[in-house]
Each structure stands twice: as structure tokens, then as C-alpha cells.
Amino acid sequence: MSQFTDSAISGNSPASSPDDHATVRQVEVVGRSDKPEEACGVFGVHAPNNDVATLTYFGLYALQHRGQESAGIASFEQGEVHTLKGMGLVSQVFTDKDLHEMPGEWAVGHTRYSTTGSSHAANAQPAVVNTRLGALALAHNGNIVNVNSLRAALLERNHDLVTTSDSELIAIALAEAVNDGKSWEEGAISAFKRCEGAFSLVIGTPEGIIAARDPHGIRPLVLGYIGSKVPEEIGSGYGPGKLVVASETCGLDIVGATYLRDVDPGEMLVIDDSGVKSVQWAQAERRLCVFEMIYFARPDSVFHGESLYSYRKRIGQRLAQESPADVDLIMAVPDSGVPAAIGYSEASGIPYAEGLIKNRYVGRTFIQPTQAMRETGIRMKLNPMRDVLEGKRILIVDDSIVRGTTSRKLVQMLYDAGATEVHMRISSPPVTHPCFYGIDTDNQDQLIAATKSVEEIERQLGADSLAYLSWEGMLEETQVAIGSFCSACFTGKYPIEIPEQVKRSKLMLEKVPAEVA
């Protein structure tokens, strides 16, 4: 989610926010890793006569990898909304007592990682806004690229913007449409059409839940059903019952929900007591985020019908075919590099071994404030096993390289532990361009592959060899139709036009890397 540098604007607002009265808990959060960071996880459950707040808590717990800076839940009980959100991990924000004090028939939840700027309690979601029909609570994964024009339009109508998040803009645009006389469904479509960029949304209203994806479907969203037997027909797709929407299928699994399908690009689901109504609010132009398949989503999730663990193993096998090496052991950067490393081992016939032990109590967001401190902090995350590595020629597999600082330190750690050779293999093409659609990939001048050739990166890392998976290899191993993916981070081809003011904030280089064939 984008953030603004301006301070909050005060004044009378036609779409007022009750967030000032919502419970917001502050917990210290530490920074960012040398990996692209996912922006958010979203979750919603419609299950009358069930503990929807606790179900949402578990759903967010499974989606914790998608955002660790803040978390929030809003439950709806007979038109009243109960909201609790705060800074920190899901387990830090909520207690059993909190959840038991959040009754309701349905609920929405959110885990957040801010894609630009610092993290603030005011930006924790769901964003709650009052309307003539009652309060709405909006959870958003993605980035709106026309934030400046949308913000200006809302300010012209004297709306009070109390956060620096683009998610609030979507919520207020929806509230404005409702206050102008539209229904929830009509208002949602009106708001979506004002937004340019990536968004997967779960919105709680006094009538139920609205779930939607942008026309390109850049960020994921899935639908599930809790029950021993899934009805054949529910409403226009699935009928009354315990229905769940989540960023990933792992969010369904944890609450015992069966994965039904992905929400389609440009589709809106209206979930209420009568079931699910599907509305194609915009023509689909599918451009799914390929990094969801490579890294962001959990390997136990299913992405548009495809097992991500199986896909990551296959690209590891493809990597072994494209870039073989004469080594003694294959190992992974845990945890995200493990499936590809196993695949590389299977295809090459070279044994796989655990050469790095990960400290499970230091999460993805362990960040140090300076580069030198960040590099020192890597040893708190990963520790090499000397008895495995000593005297061995090692090939280590990782899913991506962004800045290169972690990879350089890892190579040195492996040599220090006794490895005689260290070869690196990356199960994706080089990341050469920043993402504007909900992923934190830094400014372009901080992306190592944007300024250096593979050979130069190899020398900077101190590795004996370095190779990336080819663009063709990445796409040909997936069961999702080729042509369905956003390739912007690899090619610079952005499916949604980026306004110049937004583009200049990240595209710092005049040099444009060669496009991937």
C-alpha cells in the first residue's frame, strides 16, 4: 500500500472515520530484510453463529508471512462493528480476551507490511469508515498508482484523510459513493473504477462481505467453504454457509476450509446470508504476479490451481538442466529456497543437505538500521553447519537476489565454515526493475541486477559461479497459461501505466536493462 508524506488533513468529512475510537495497540516493530517484501495479507469469513474473530485470527496467523508490521480485525454484529488493530505480529496484537470481546456474524482481517515509508499505527488495517448505511471495514493488498489524483479528488470534496495509506482512499471513495445514494454493491464498483493499480480487497459491511480483485489480478485472492460437505450450488456460485476469502489457500487450510476457486481478475463477490453473488465488474486482463509463485506465497498454498511446492521443485529441476555444476552438495537458503534446491538435487543426482540452520525466532522482518548492522544481523538468522560444509564444494540455491548484501555475507559464511567452493543458483531471472503494485523491491539503483552484469554480481558476491533461471524456464514450468503474468520486475514492462511522479520515486536510473526475451 502506498503512503503519502503529507500529514493528516483535518476538517469536516462527509465520510467520517470512527477509527479514532477503535482500539489500537502499539508494539515495537523492526525493519526489513534483503528480500522483496510482500505488502499484506487479507482475510474474511462469513459464518453466523461461529466465533468469527477467532477464525480470522487463525487466518491471519497463517498469512503472517505476508506482513509483520501490523495486524487488525473488524467483526460485524447486527450492524455494529468491533475493531482491534495494532503494531506487531498477530500473536502480539490479539489476546484471547480481545477475541472473545469481538462478537459477530462475519469479520475481516489484515496483516500489513508497508511498501514505502515508515510504519505507523494509524495505517494499521482494516480501514474503518462511517457511511449513511453504517460502517465499512476495508482490508487491502496491493498498491494504487493513481494515489495523487484520487487523493486530490477526495480532498476537493472535503474528506478528512487521517492516514497516509492508499487503502484509506479506496475506503473513502466507497463511502462517498454510498453517501451519494448508491448501494454497497453499486458503491463498491464505483470506487473500484476510480482506482488504477493492484488491489485485492476484503470489505466488511453491515450486510456482509465484499471481496474483489483488480482487472489484472496482480495480487491473489481465494474463496473457500468451511463444512464437511461442499454444496454443489451456493447462490450464483456457492450457497449459504461458512464462507472464507483469503490471500492464499494456507489461510483457508488453517480454519478447515475447502479451497473452492480463485477470485477472478475483475470479479467482485458479494457474500451475505443468501450465499455468494459473483459480479464481473471489469473485463479481465490477467497479469498475475509471478513472484507470488516464486517466493511470496507459502509453498503449501495453491495458486490458480497449481501447487506452489511442486512448481518450485520443477523450476529447481529446470535450473539444474540450464546451469549444472560439479559440486559435492546441494543446499538451500532456508526456507524459501528449499523446494528449488530439492528439485536441483533430484535433477542433478547430487545429494541435498541442510547446511544452514535458521533461527525460527527471527522473522522475515528482522532489520538493522545500517548496512553494516544488517550484514551482522544475518548471523542471527542463519548459522552454517561446519561438519556438513567443511572440505565440500557447495551449490546453494536461493529464490532471488535483490540488493545482494545477504548473498555476499552468506557466501563468506560458507567459506568460513570450511567450504572449498561456493556456487550460487537463483530460481528466478534477475530483478532489474522496482514493483509499483504492492511489493517492496527498493529503488532501481538499489537493485544489484539493474546496474551489474551476472559476471559482475558473481565477483561482488565472491562466489565461484552464479547463474539465474531463464525467463523461459520460469514460465514453461508453470501450469498457469503463459502470457498471464506481470513481468515488470524482470523486464520493465508494466501492465498498468505508472504516473511519472510515482515512477520517478523509484526509477532512479537512466539506463534501462535489456528486456528478457
Contacts of the segment 148-155: beta carbons below 8 A, 24+ positions apart? 148/499, 148/501, 148/502, 149/499, 150/194, 150/195, 151/4, 153/194, 155/9
SS3 category, 148: helix
Residues 59, 108: Cα–Cα separation, whole Å: 10
Let me know: does 501 contact 451? Beta carbons within 8 Å: no
Instruction: Give the 3-state secondary structure of residue 321.
Output: helix
CA triplet 315, 59, 194: central angle to 5 degrees?
80
Residue 230, CA distances (Å) to 2, 206, 209, 256, 264 in order: 38, 26, 20, 12, 20
Would you tell me how many other CB atoms lie within 10 Å of the CB of residue 62? 25
Cα–Cα distance for residue pair 40/66, rounded to 1 Å: 5
**Short-list 49, 81, 45, CA closest to 62:** 45
How deeply is 153 buried, as exposed, middle or buried, from its count of CB atoms within 10 A (0-12, 13-18, 19+)?
Answer: middle
Mark whether 40 is an active-site residue.
yes
Whole-angstrom Cα distance, residue 304 to residue 438? Answer: 19
- Torsion sign over Cα 359, 362, 367, 368: negative
Which cell numbers in the block locate residue 223?
474463496
d(CA 118, CA 175): 27
| Contact between residue 314 and residue 237 where contact means Cβ atoms under 8 Å apart | no
Burial readout 18-50 (b: 16 or more C-beta within 10 A, e: otherwise): ebeebebbeeebeebbbbbbbbbbbbbbbbeeb
Of 141, 132, 70, 135, the residue nearest 104 (C-alpha): 135
- Separation CA 256–CA 374 (nearest Å): 39
What positions carry a catalytic annotation?
Answer: 40
